[in-house]
Structures are given as C-alpha cells and as structure tokens.
Structure 1
C-alpha cells in the first residue's frame, strides 16, 4: 500500500509541476518577402531545472513522411534573467537550453518557409501559412502543456484564420490545451477572403487565399450539403466550429490535409466555374471533412497519441485514407453534387487504375500502409511496378466490403454502420482500433466471416472479383482489352530537349529487353527521333508507341530502337505486343431483382 501511495504521490507531483509550466508563443514577420517568420517562445515555471530540451517535430500527422522540419530553423538563441544562455544542439531536432535553475527562459528562432504544400509552411509578402509542426517547438516530455499563440500580422495584413480557440479580449491570440491540439491547428495570416456558413448548427469558416472565380453563395450551399451528409453517417459532429483554409493557385487538380477541426485545401483558382473543377473542389471538401471522423477520431491505434520524433507505423492506412477516398464519392452522390451515372463512372475509373497498376500484384494494402513512410511520398521510376497506393487500393476494398455487407444483410446494413459503430467504440474506449478489432466489427455488422476477404484483398494481392460484387447491386460489369489491336512497348517517354524514357512497365516488351529509364531515344528502325519530330509538347509524358514513327507498326512487328545511355549509343530490339491494359464496361441493369435494389439503395444511401 505504501509503495502504491508513493507512486500516486509522485504522479500527482509530476502533474502539478507540468501544470505550473507556462508557454507563450509570439509569431511576427520582419522579412516575409524573404519567407521568414520570427518565433519568440517564453517558458515559465521550470522549477529549478538545470536545462530544458526543446524539440521540433520531424513529420506532420496525416502526411506519412519524415520531413525534417528542423532544417528550416535558423538563429536559435536563448536568454535567462535577461542574459544570453548557453545552447547546445544535441540531436537533429533537439536544442538544449541551459537555464541553470532559473524558472523562466526566453527563446527566439527564425523559420524559413518557402514550400508550396498543404503540409508545409509558406510565407511571402502576400500572406503566411503556418503548418504548426514545422513552426512550434515543444519542451521534451511536456506535450500535454497548454500554450497560447499570439500572431502579429505584417503590414496591412488584417486577418487570421485557424481552428484554435481565441483568447477573449486579446486580438489575434489563441489558446491550445496541449501541443497535440496546437500541432493540429494550421494558421493562415493575411488578407484572405473569409466567409461563413452554418451546417447542423455549427459555424464553418472558409478562408480563401489567392483569388478565384468561385461563387460564394453556391459554395456555401453545396459545402453545407457535404457537411450534413458526412455527419449523417456518424450521427454526430464533434466540433464547435470548423475552418477551411483554401489556397487557390494556378495548378490543376488539388490536394488537402486533415486536422481535428480544420483542413487545408489547395485548388485551382480558375476552375470553380467548370463542371470538372467544381467537382474536384467538392471531392476535396468531402474527403477532408470525412477525416474529421475517419483518421482523426476513428483511427488506427498507432495514429495518436503521436510520437513526433519518428515514424508512427500502422497497417491500417487503407481504412484511414483509402476508405476516405471511397466515401468522398458517396458523399457527393448523397449531397446531389454528382448523379448515379457519374458515381459509377468514377468508381470504375478508380478500379481500372488499381487493376492496371502492376504493383497491385506485388504489394498488399496492409503492406502499402506500413511502408507509407518509405514509398508513398517517395515514389521513384519503379514504384508503379512494385507498389500500390493505400489510397487507391483502400478505396476499392471499401467498395467491395460495402457491397458484401449490404448483400449479406439484404440491404439492411452497409459499411456506414461499421464506420459509425467503430467511431462509437473508439469514443468509449478512448483509443484507436487494431486491424483485428476492425475485422471483428465488420463481421458483427454483416453476420458473415471476412477471413477469406482479408486474406485476398487486404493482406494479399489476389485479382479483384469486381463482377461478383457489382452484381450484388444490379450492375453489369465486364472487362475488355482497352486498346485491342494496338501495338505496345510498355515505355513512357518525356520530351524536353531530347526524348527520354521516364518509366518502363513491368513485364512489357521494353521491360523484358532492357530499355531503361533515362535512356535517350535516338531512332526507330533507323528513323531519327527528336523532340520536334515527336510532336510531344515539351515536358509532356506519352507512351513511346504513340510517336509518329510508330504509325505503321503492328502487333508482332520487330522494332530496333537506338538509344544513348551514359553517353554511349546502343540498339535494343523487341517484338511489339498487344497492350494488356483493361477497360471495364459497367452499367445498371434494367430489371434488377428486389434484393439487388435493396442492396443498391443501402449502398448508395439515396
């Protein structure tokens, strides 16, 4: 009893000491045009310690790559009692400040921020985007310490957008109950266009940077529909408020990163008035908002609490990210932003992508998840041959699992019920789930054994029996050769000053006969190939066999390709084959059975 009492007293003392620690940050911008932020960190209540170690995270949750944010730190200094204190860097991301028993220390450092990304900070004379894991240091062992952050906007900047709670009566000052919350709360500073909408009684702020041809009223209405459909799956919205930080730029497509009560999106500024661009934007909104539950609260056990010093491994990103990709389409369908024809078309496109990726026969979804840290964000010329994305494979697993559950229950249940039950279970247990727990819930909801399913599609690399699963919902799906009768090399080339091989697909003629990435293509059967003669726009990537010199070639023809490799010329010959890439034809059948209609209705949720 005395031993236990001693442990309790020690724990209470530890908590008491931590509760006395006071940490305040102040962020200013003396040279935003040079991409710098000034960070002042004041630490009080150190309680007689000889030194304190300050650490910078090495990665950003939601983006599974060690990014080494400490590389952007400059000019780290410390002061104690008004005098310079000794500082020693002891690891790549740890600075030791010797406070010699003083109760307080003042820290200053600069952050260089010039990477355009939803997961990294960027500063110029027009705005500052602060991705917190690359800006704020934390005292080692004190993640649970509360902090305040005061922003001093530069010049005529007059707005701050963040999911952090404002401190009453203090302009541009915010509170975080611990560093996990701080690190999960990006900050936009500048003159962004801010508008709001309410959904389910919750205030949602949209902060638009970079201009754009968006219609605010239309966005308010449709974003609210996306929010409502997402929350409807879980019958709960855990936020008091939510912030969308949107960076509009000149690039096509988009990207996003989820946070606890906010997200950062990158979108094409002039694409909002096109059907494709508008759909892409709302796909981003649906994806990242669905993460409010899936990955942030309904999460694999390894994804929180986080270790910011190193990789946090999980085999379940196929659920955390892949299922989120799957649900973005379902949410857009239910919100009325896409119709049933587009819904099916998009699923088929994504299914074709997985099936036509050679790596899908090499790497499983669980392995792809575990190896995210070394593969997903570090692709090379062979990645398509040796790996599959947990996003794309996870999306297809979600599709198959959803249809299997709906079919097994005659349309009474679906994957929605699994997600909701797992969310409620996680709230009750106050932790993430294991792979076994997720499987157990799928089996409980469906009433059938999923062991073979797991072995084939999650831990294995079996062919996807999509015809069977689509038939459950009254959809006829068949595969065919995408380009029948067309010759195929298996090499992609990129035209810059010369025409060079950019990738070679596994088991293709080019692969089998040794055509390499970076080989410069000089001639085909003696006919010279130059960028101008190839008709390829500079920087574009096309299939080698689409070059004009291949126009009269047929399947079965032998070709001799002259190349230059490492300054030396050589010739490679091979026989052209038919392209094995498949195309899937799918459509809703005219007279589905009652069970098929029940499955389809539950699956789509409309």
Structure 2
C-alpha cells in the first residue's frame, strides 16, 4: 500500500476531520467483537458504509460482510436512522444530522493473514475483515480505541502510531486498512539497524505458549534474516514511523499463514517453537520481510491503487511473489540458518512441480499471475483442473529467479545488484512498475540482448532455461530418474482397501493416456487385488519402465478396465556435485560461495 504522509503534518491533522472507532471483546469466548464507529461533519444526506471484499496482500475476493450482524445507526442525539441494503456489501444510512454512529457485531474465528480471530487467547485483527468504512471519507484521519481485556493481560501491537493508552491513529483509510493488529498477552524483542546514519527499530512480537528462552533463541535467527535481506538491497526501507513490526502468533488455534504489510507482517502457525516451529516457521519470516522491499515498495502498477471492492490483479506476481520466494530459502542459507546442502537439495521439489507441469502449454508466467484471484485463498465448490492448467506464480517465479541469478553470474553480474537497481529506480521513489519497466531495467543492467532473451523466452513464453549448464557452473548437479517407473497420478488407500485416484492425472502421463481419472477406485492390478497395506508409490517403485499394468477400477459404480504402460520418471534431482563423487573445481566452488555467500 503506497503511503506518502509527511510526519511533520501530524500536528495539522489533529484539527482535521477524524473518524473514530472503538472495538471491544466482552464476548470473546464466542468469537464476537463489537465495533462502533463515529463519523462527524457529514455533508451528504446518505452515507454508504461497506465491508471490504479484498485485503492488502491478497488477490482474491473475501466476503467479509458475511461475518457482520446486528447493525445499528444513530445520529448525534441517539436517534435510530433508516438503513438501506442495496447489495450484500454495504449499508446506506439516511437522514442523519451531520453525524452518524454505527455499531455492529463481528464474528471472527480464523487467525491468519486474511481474516480476524477473537477468542480468550487473543484478538487477532486484519483490519479489512473487521472494520466497516465509508468510501467517500477515505482521506480522513482515523482514530481507533482497542478496548483490551485487562483480565486477560492483553496489550496492543500494530504498525499504527500510538495516540495514548490503547488509542492509535492512521492518516487515512488506506494506511488503516494495511495495519493488522495483534491484541494478546504477547512478548516482544527488538533491535536497531542503522543505515546511512539513521537508526530504525525492528520489533518481533510473539504470541505463543512457549518460553522466553525459546523466543530469545528464535529472535537471533530473525535478526540474521533481517540483516541478510538488508544486504541484498544495501539498506532497509525507510519505515514510515521508524519501526517495522513482526506480528507472530504460533498457537494451536491459529491458521498457518504469512501476510506482508507496509511496516509490519502477520506470521501465524499452529507449530510452537518447541514443536518444530523454530525451524519451520523461519521461512515465513524470511519471505514476508523480503516483501518490505519487493511488493510493498517495489510495487506492480496493477496493484495501485488497491481496490477494496474487487479482486486485485497483476501480471507481475512471478516477480513480486516469485522472486521473493527465490530469496526466501536463499537468504536462510546466506544467514547460516540452513546449510548449502539443504538449500540446494530443497530446490528439487519446486523445480519438479514447475518444469514437469503440463500447464506451461496453456499459460506463461504473466498469465499464471493473472490466475491469482482464483487461487490466492479463493474458494470454489466446482472441481477445477489445476494439476494441468496452473503453476503457482510463487514457484514459477522462484525457479525463474534462480535461472536469472545464475545467468547473470555467467556475465559476472548477479541478481542482488539487479534488485538493488530496481529498488533504487522504483522502490525508494515508490513509482509503480510495469512489465515493460522491468524489462528495461534488466536491459539497463545486463544489456538489451540479455534482457530481451530472458523476457521473450521465459516470461512472455514458457521456455525452460538450460539449468544443467547454469547449475554446473556453481558445482551443482541436475539429474533425472529416468530409470525409475512413473504412473502419473496420486493414488491413496480408501476405506475398502482399494486405491483411489486423488488428483487429476497430468496430461500425457501413463494414467492420463490410459483414461484413468480423479475419483476412480482401483480394485485389481494384473489379476491381483490392490496392494492393500502398501503405499502405491512403493508398489510402483518395485516395477520397471515399460511394464504394463492391467487395471480394473470402479467409476460411478461401474467396473471398467484399462492398460497402463509405465513411463520413465520425469522428476529431477538437484544436489551438490561432490555428494556423488563428482570433482568440483576451484572456480565452481568460488562461484558457488559468491552465490550462497558462504566460505567453504
């Protein structure tokens, strides 16, 4: 969310028109909050109040209005006002005397980055999911009083500036909507980072059921992540109020998520630090903090201005989300949190998902980005064919980021310096970029021929870079498992001891060619019962490429037969070359160390 609000204007804003909210949590045990909003100095007879349909950082629609009830509106004298409902998302209030107070109850019970959650452990608030707003008053200052449960020892953590007590303020609607808030009995750690003589504070707020010692150890890794990512760009962003806040909830009732915001991020997980979270949750820290540069300030033009009334779409998510995903694990390696071996081998899963997907024949990375409103925590009741038509722009962009980084290194350049250039051109000045701008930026950095080749072959088309050569330059091997057999669909045991196909077979795979489909129940293979008690994948591994399986299966309670001819496994393995005895030259090792910033 773009925010250009000079701090020196704060004094004058105190006298400007201000909308006031307060939110209370007396019935938190039943996941309810009561919200009250007061809107003075109104000039029109009818004022429309809305619940947002979208949320900063998300690209799909989310119908937050469904969780609102018991709406009331009164004037300055407490007189009930007439309310119209022209559509599911708004309440039109008529006949006021210059001031309207609204009040409603919110049901909130999903603790992640998109929705809100209220219970007796916390009030975890995503602002668009919580507060109604008046679109015609979007430029007004906002004050909000969070009525904390003192009996539960609640405190407030947010990127909103403090007025006093539990009252905070925002310069306008957009900043307010982009400011998630955690209210709980949390712990805080913080440290200062200095850039060009200016100190900024990084706070880590953690609501969890663990110990202070666990938080201390985890915070050391958080600091390493912050500093590793700062090194990519050469500096931190200038946070609006000199502070960046991680809002982490690692509790059983949360939903796993991460959501970036301008000066803060939401981090939620059911995994405690003691139960695997110390290792597994740190990746979300890495990903979301990188967004403080890439997406929050280096921002696609398609997301500006953010529209709270519809889905928000951009063709650049392969860069905004995907390149961020590339740096997520890379920076954990550079920070010393994971080993080079673990980092390199960890690329394999994403690599196989992208390059073995038939979806590339339908959509390039730009068009995959356009799919975000349908896949970004979106819901649908009709079956879809995502296995064959969609590759996540997170994953697609991540492996393209790898290819671009290694390709630049062949030219004695690197992706870090390109990201710095994009940051200096578009991020620091907060000029939203287009795809054409990115291509020109790459041309300025690496030459027009290099940029045109990359964009023409891999962005506007769905070509696959020569990873074998690129990885070999840094002493990493790319190999396939062609000697192993491949079926082409996920099969799992059902309650009858038979095998049910649980995914759409991928186009061109043995299962697809044989006419098998999702939901088919395999009962007999080559005259014998389905291998009950054995994983189907393990059963297939015991066979040979070219073996024919005579499969008997049920579809819609009708018995059918087909022949499946096992094909070579298309999956790749990525590993440090020395792992399997290949000698790595000094030059390869030097290039690897420069890439991973290690000292082997």
Q: TM-score range by the shorter chain?
A: 0.7 to 0.9
Give how far 1:320 is off: 0.7
> Which segment drifts farther, 291-300 or 427-436?
427-436
Give how far 1:378 is off: 4.8
Report if aligned partners of 1:163, 1:261 keep a CA contact under 8 Å in 2.
no
How far apart, CA to CA, are the structure 2 residues paired with 1:176 and 1:370?
Answer: 32
Aligned length: 568
In structure 2, the residue matched to 1:46 is 42
> Which segment drifts farther, 349-358 or 581-590?
581-590
Give how far 1:99 is off: 3.4
Q: Deviations over 1:286-317 (max 9, x none)?
A: 11111111100111112232111112221100
- The 5 A counterparts of 1:186-205 are 186-200=180-194, 201-205=199-203
In structure 2, the residue matched to 1:278 is 278
Give how far 1:456 is off: 1.7
How far apart, CA to CA, are the structure 2 residues paired with 1:453 and 1:591?
Answer: 28
Q: Deviations over 1:29-64 (max 9, x none)?
A: 1321221111101101113x1111112211112122
How far apart, CA to CA, are the structure 2 residues paired with 1:46 and 1:98?
Answer: 11
Which of 23, 29, 35 pairs up with 1:33? 29
Give how far 1:347 is off: 3.0
- The 5 A counterparts of 1:147-546 are 147-154=142-149, 156-168=151-163, 170-200=164-194, 201-212=199-210, 215-237=214-236, 238-239=238-239, 240-249=242-251, 255-270=257-272, 272=274, 277-378=277-378, 382-408=385-411, 410=412, 413-427=413-427, 429-449=429-449, 450-472=451-473, 474-481=474-481, 484-486=483-485, 488-498=486-496, 499-503=499-503, 504-529=505-530, 534-535=532-533, 544-546=536-538
The 1:166–1:20 alpha-carbon spacing in structure 2 relative to 1, beyond 3 Å, is closer
Report if aligned partners of 2:38, 2:101 keep a CA contact under 8 Å in 1.
yes
How far apart, CA to CA, are the structure 1 residues paired with 2:426 and 2:541?
Answer: 59
The 1:172–1:338 alpha-carbon spacing in structure 2 relative to 1, beyond 3 Å, is same
Report if aligned partners of 1:65, 1:311 keep a CA contact under 8 Å in 2.
yes
Secondary structure at the aligned position of 1:107 is classed as: strand
Q: Deviations over 1:444-485 (max 9, x none)?
A: 11235211211221121113310222244x324332226x24
The 1:551–1:605 alpha-carbon spacing in structure 2 relative to 1, beyond 3 Å, is closer
How far apart, CA to CA, are the structure 2 residues paired with 1:229 and 1:557?
Answer: 50
Give how far 1:517 is off: 1.0
The 1:179–1:422 alpha-carbon spacing in structure 2 relative to 1, beyond 3 Å, is same
The 1:64–1:496 alpha-carbon spacing in structure 2 relative to 1, beyond 3 Å, is farther
Give how far 1:510 is off: 1.6
How far apart, CA to CA, are the structure 2 residues paired with 1:139 and 1:251?
Answer: 32
Secondary structure at the aligned position of 1:83 is classed as: coil
Report if aligned partners of 2:468, 2:478 keep a CA contact under 8 Å in 1.
yes
How far apart, CA to CA, are the structure 2 residues paired with 1:574 and 1:233?
Answer: 49
Residue 574, structure 1, aligned to residue 561, structure 2: no
Report if aligned partners of 2:476, 2:574 keep a CA contact under 8 Å in 1.
no
Secondary structure at the aligned position of 1:516 is classed as: coil
Secondary structure at the aligned position of 1:40 is classed as: strand
Gaps of 5+ in 2: 1-11
Report if aligned partners of 1:27, 1:39 keep a CA contact under 8 Å in 2.
yes
Q: Deviations over 1:314-360 (max 9, x none)?
A: 11001111111111223222322123333322334432332233324
Which of 587, 590, 597 pairs up with 2:577? 587
TM-score, with normalisation over the residues of structure 1? 0.86
TM-score, with normalisation over the residues of structure 2? 0.87
How far apart, CA to CA, are the structure 2 residues paired with 1:158 and 1:268?
Answer: 22
In structure 1, the residue matched to 2:5 is none
Q: Deviations over 1:153-189 (max 9, x none)?
A: 2362333343333434x31111111111111111111
Secondary structure at the aligned position of 1:226 is classed as: helix
Report if aligned partners of 2:54, 2:61 keep a CA contact under 8 Å in 1.
yes
Secondary structure at the aligned position of 2:502 is classed as: strand
How far apart, CA to CA, are the structure 2 residues paired with 1:264 and 1:418?
Answer: 28
Report if aligned partners of 1:58, 1:68 keep a CA contact under 8 Å in 2.
yes
Report if aligned partners of 1:376, 1:389 keep a CA contact under 8 Å in 2.
no
The 1:476–1:500 alpha-carbon spacing in structure 2 relative to 1, beyond 3 Å, is closer
How far apart, CA to CA, are the structure 2 residues paired with 1:365 and 1:397?
Answer: 9
The 1:444–1:382 alpha-carbon spacing in structure 2 relative to 1, beyond 3 Å, is same
Give how far 1:211 is off: 1.5
- The 5 A counterparts of 1:75-154 are 75-80=70-75, 81-100=77-96, 102-154=97-149
In structure 2, the residue matched to 1:4 is none
How far apart, CA to CA, are the structure 2 residues paired with 1:315 and 1:126?
Answer: 39
Which of 555, 562, 571 pairs up with 2:552? 562
Report if aligned partners of 2:299, 2:433 keep a CA contact under 8 Å in 1.
yes
Which of 13, 17, 32 pairs up with 1:21? 17
How far apart, CA to CA, are the structure 2 residues paired with 1:481 and 1:32?
Answer: 54
How far apart, CA to CA, are the structure 2 residues paired with 1:95 and 1:253?
Answer: 30
In structure 2, the residue matched to 1:9 is none
Secondary structure at the aligned position of 2:303 is classed as: coil
Report if aligned partners of 2:356, 2:571 keep a CA contact under 8 Å in 1.
yes
Give how far 1:151 is off: 0.7
Q: Deviations over 1:210-261 (max 9, x none)?
A: 4246722222222112112222322332221122222214599953111111
Secondary structure at the aligned position of 1:141 is classed as: helix
Report if aligned partners of 1:403, 1:599 keep a CA contact under 8 Å in 2.
no
Q: In angstroms, what is the RMSD of aligned CA positions?
A: 2.9
> Which segment drifts farther, 389-398 or 322-331?
322-331
